[in-house]
Amino acid sequence: MKSEVETQPVSRSRGRWLGAFVFLSPGLAYLVVLMLVPLALVFSYTVFQRGRFGGVVYEFTTENFERLFDPLYLNVLGDSLKIAALTTLIALLIGYPTAYLIAQLPKRWKTLALVAVVLPFWTNFIIRVYAWTILLSGPGLVNSALAKIGLGPYELLYNQGTIVAGLLYSYLPLMVLPLYAAIEKLDPQLREASANLGASGFTTFRKVTLPLTVPGVLTGSLFVFVPSFGNFVIPEMLGGSKSIMVGNLIRDQFLSARDWPFGATLSLVLIALLVVLLILQAWAARRA
């Protein structure tokens, strides 16, 4: 009788573990097949050599990591970091006041404003970027308008400024939405208390609103920086052959040069940067 009582907790524990495994198995299978296996392949390719006609020769080498320090590739990485950082900064400067104003609107107008923010996502990404090439081309709408007032035409396409504009247009909603969520859940009584204690509007913003919305700032910055850094469609369509970002470089290594090991090494750099940014964002959010 005693042994049956002792075995009941063990049976319940096994049942819970079995139930949890069955419940989680679809998600685990998804992660293993579509994330862990491809990542393992990417990691393994970084230490092998390029085949003579493409593909991979399974002979160990460190040449792929040594090539990362070539000035040509360092310049591409530097340009990518500069463009992504500039895009993130401008998105923050535009996105914060936008999110703040939306959070102050009446509920009905707030919903309409949020719909307007996400509205561009209802159109295909490639179509939206292609529309920019039509607007900014030589005979495009912008140059036509400039010509009517005696300015231009100018070469508006194929430079880094246009790439930043395209990235900003594409990813600004990813900055506004986290900021709106952070500002919306802010207790208005805190700002009222600050005002009652004699603080000006700017002081209240600097010492109350901004510090309490830092997690939203960090999340939005991460959401904009990461896709901007690895994007290759916008640099290709708006930057032309003069502006190469790390996303274009990785694509060319896999599809044109067929240098899969070096393409995998560049991808590893991108993944490592993403992991570092996630760790920094989590650390900064905890401190905030």
- Residues 237, 240, 246, CA angle at the centre, nearest 5°? 85
Domain annotation covers residue 182: yes
Q: What is the pLDDT of residues 30-72, one digit of tens each?
A: 888 888 998 898 899 999 998 887 778 888 999 999 999 999 9
pLDDT of residue 7 exceeding 90, the answer is no
Residue 155: inside a domain, yes or no? yes
What is the number of structural domains in the chain? 1
Q: What is the pLDDT of residue 283?
A: 85
Q: Which CATH number goes with the domain that contains 141?
A: 1.10.3720.10
pLDDT of 6 strictly over 70: no
Write down the pTM of the prediction: 0.83
What length is written for the chain? Answer: 288
Torsion sign across C-alpha atoms 221, 222, 224, 225: positive
* Residue span of the structural domain in which 145 resides: 69-243
Task: Tell the residue number behind the tokens 């996400």, with chain if given.
Answer: 118
Question: DSSP string of 106-149?
Answer: -HHHHHHHHHHHHGGGGS-HHHHHHHHHHHHSTTSHHHHHHHHT
